[in-house]
């Protein structure tokens, strides 16, 4: 799609979207481009500056790489958590309670829990800490 600034022979300025430059040319030649104010089909494109986004700076890291010290710190935290604990998925609350009660072997775990499950664990004296990132399997 392309947006053109247009003007009719009565000097009315207006804009319109077209599928392509070729689509505009064929519609104009067929007399199907009309002024939105007076209906004139004597229309021409006005001089306009293209709307371009600035190029990425060469210093930008590749996508997926940390872009700031904070992102780097979060990436390091994620790496430490994933390397030093077991992912238990949506069974986090059940597994944390079982470890606390001695019904499962003691080990470091991470996973997912609904807010009310995490609140219940904390109210029962089971130490849990929310992590500032989503599990790897839930990110793009």
Q: Tell me how far CA of residue 17 lies from CA of 1, 23, 65, 67, 118, in angstroms.
A: 7, 10, 37, 36, 51
pLDDT at 18: 92
User: 0.85 exceeded by the pTM?
Assistant: no
Question: What is the rounded distance in angstroms from the CA atom of residue 100 to the CA atom of residue 119?
Answer: 15
pLDDT tens digit at each of 140 positions of the chain: 888 999 999 999 999 999 999 999 999 999 999 998 899 999 999 987 776 777 666 666 677 777 888 888 988 999 999 999 999 999 999 999 999 999 999 999 999 999 999 999 999 999 999 888 887 765 54
């Amino acid at each position: 799609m392309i947006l053109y600034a247009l003007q009719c022979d009565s000097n009315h300025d207006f804009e319109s979207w077209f599928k392509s430059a070729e689509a505009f040319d064929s519609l104009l030649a067929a007399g199907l481009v009309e002024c939105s104010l007076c209906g004139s089909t004597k229309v021409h494109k006005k001089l306009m500056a293209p709307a371009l986004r600035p190029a990425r700076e060469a210093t930008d890291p590749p996508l997926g790489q940390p872009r700031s010290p904070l992102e780097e710190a979060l990436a390091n935290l994620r790496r430490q958590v994933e390397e030093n604990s077991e992912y238990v998925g949506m069974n986090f609350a059940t597994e944390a309670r079982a470890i606390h009660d001695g019904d499962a072997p003691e080990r470091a775990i991470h996973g997912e829990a609904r807010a009310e499950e995490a609140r219940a664990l904390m109210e029962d004296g089971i130490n849990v800490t929310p992590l500032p990132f989503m599990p790897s399997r839930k990110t793009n």
